[in-house]
Structure 1
Amino acid sequence: MKKIFYILMIPMLIASLFVFDSLDVFSSKAAANELSKFEGNIVTVNGMGAVKVKPDIAYISLGVETFNVDAKKAQEDIAKQMDKIVDTLKKNGIEDEDIKTTGYNIYKTSKYEPANLGEKKNRIEGYIARNIAEVTIRDIDKVGNVIDLAGKAGANIINNIRFGITNEEEYYNKALKLAMKNASGKAEAVLSTFGVKPEKPYRIIENSYGAPIVYRDNAMMKASMVAENYETPVEAGELEVTARVTVEYKY
């Protein structure tokens, strides 16, 4: 009698699972349909705007690298040279807060030499000291002049000349307005095929922020360049500030 009862229960359980599963699918579809009714028909477009700007600020990494067989002497040499560079820059209009140390290290150099029985031994040749500072130049026309002054004062490393914009938010907001105008034009073109005009946006997503920073190729100042009456030509060019948006319109 119990076996018959179990056999009868199995189809009932399968049927109930099918019913619950169907109800779950039905409820999901119903929820989706309700959401669709609430939001209505929506067209989504992407907009982009760009503004070209001449950079008004520059950043240069410069410094000194020196070698000495004595570690302490290497430190003293690099300190004297770096002090001379900083003093020169300050005397020529660079403010104290626009010069900051970004790197300082001392490491030994070694040479492997043959020893007895074909073995090699490690012989310390000396020590290399390096001091790097980032200099902010607020007059874009003086970038080449700053490089020349630093080189003549003893800098033998010039790295990462970067150009940027002081008030980038002002130009980004202009690009953002152009991006919205671009998106509106796209929406109007799409909806015109249905004889509809886009109204106020239903949803707006800002997809980007910020102006680019242009990097120039790294350069190492050579002793021959410093010795000559050399004027470094540096062209900042233009930066392009871009903004991107995703806009949804109901129709």
Structure 2
Amino acid sequence: MNRNVTRTGSLALLLIIVALVTTLPAAAQDDAPARTITVSGYGQESGTPDVAYLYLGVDSTNENPTEAFNQVNTMIEAVNAAVMALGIAGDDIQTSSINLWVQDSFDPATGSPTGGRTYRAQNMVTVTVRDVNAVGDVITAAIAAGANSINGLSFGIADPTALAQAARLNAIADARARAEQIAAALGVTLDEPISADESISGGAVSQPMYAMGMGGGAAVSEGQLAVSVQLTITYAIQ
């Protein structure tokens, strides 16, 4: 009986060893790193801006802070009315900042405070101009109505979807071409893409203010805007 038990135990141990030997290659294959190539593709598409954002406002100085604040409120109402008279919707005028700060006076010769004090108030708005050809007229009307602070101008594309789609296709084609070149150089075959990460930029650009034109409003140029797409794609290889 002991011999039978010994033989049975030896047979079971042999079967376990055979199973382990058979399983090890498969496990090693599962743990092997995937054969891939990762590349970045770039695409860009340009278009003409169809919307502008104008940052302007008023500021005033007074020895009384309440008076300074009331002055800019009255002034900005006049500016807003002048802009709206050109067809700008009220919803396209948004208050961007309201500021009030103290200004102490100093002797220019000694740099010592003189004891004088004034208050400066400021009220700024962002005006969305949906007809870029009207930007110059809007600036001129705002200045005529009392705007004495213009912080800049930017152009944009209201719906950049079509540009982004075209740029994306360009990025995909660029990534594929790069991957095929690398695969050919390495002597491998490019397979299906297994992952992709995207980054989109562009669609708006800031512009400096230009000098006032003669009789035709401020001279501005909207130029072109570009939407850029970067795609990082990982391809399997054989």
The question of a shared fold, defined as TM-score above 0.5 by the shorter chain, is answered with: yes
**Do the aligned residues in 1 keep the contact of 2:136 with 2:216 (CA within 8 Å)?**
no
Structure 2: which amino acid aligns with 1:67?
T
- Correspondence for 1:231: 217
Q: After TM superposition, give the deviation of residue 197 of structure 1 in Å.
A: 4.7
- Correspondence for 1:21: none
Which aligned pairs between 1:1-251 and structure 2 lie closer than 5 A?
34-36=30-32, 39=34, 41-112=35-106, 123-193=115-185, 196-206=188-198, 208-217=199-208, 229=215, 231-251=217-237
Structure 1: which amino acid aligns with 2:153?
I
Q: 1:148 to 1:34 in 2, by over 3 A?
A: same
SS at match of 1:79: helix
- Greater helix share, 1 or 2? 1
Report Cα offsets for 1:57-115 as digits up to 9, x if no partner: 111110001112222222222122111111111111110110011111122211246xx
**Do the aligned residues in 2 keep the contact of 1:184 with 1:198 (CA within 8 Å)?**
no
SS at match of 1:87: helix
SS at match of 1:209: strand
**Do the aligned residues in 1 keep the contact of 2:104 with 2:113 (CA within 8 Å)?**
no
Unaligned 5+ runs, structure 2: 1-25
Report Cα offsets for 1:132-169 as digits up to 9, x if no partner: 00111111111111111101111001112111111123
Residues in 1 aligned to 2:216 and 2:54: alpha-carbon distance in whole angstroms: 18
Q: After TM superposition, give the deviation of residue 56 of structure 1 in Å.
A: 1.1
TM value normalised by structure 2: 0.78
Aligned length, in residue pairs = 211
SS at match of 1:199: strand
**Do the aligned residues in 1 keep the contact of 2:200 with 2:227 (CA within 8 Å)?**
no
TM value normalised by structure 1: 0.75
- Greater strand share, 1 or 2? 2
Report Cα offsets for 1:156-204 as digits up to 9, x if no partner: 0111211111112321121111101101111122222355553321221
User: Identity across aligned pairs (percent)?
Assistant: 29
SS at match of 1:182: helix
Residues in 1 aligned to 2:185 and 2:67: alpha-carbon distance in whole angstroms: 79
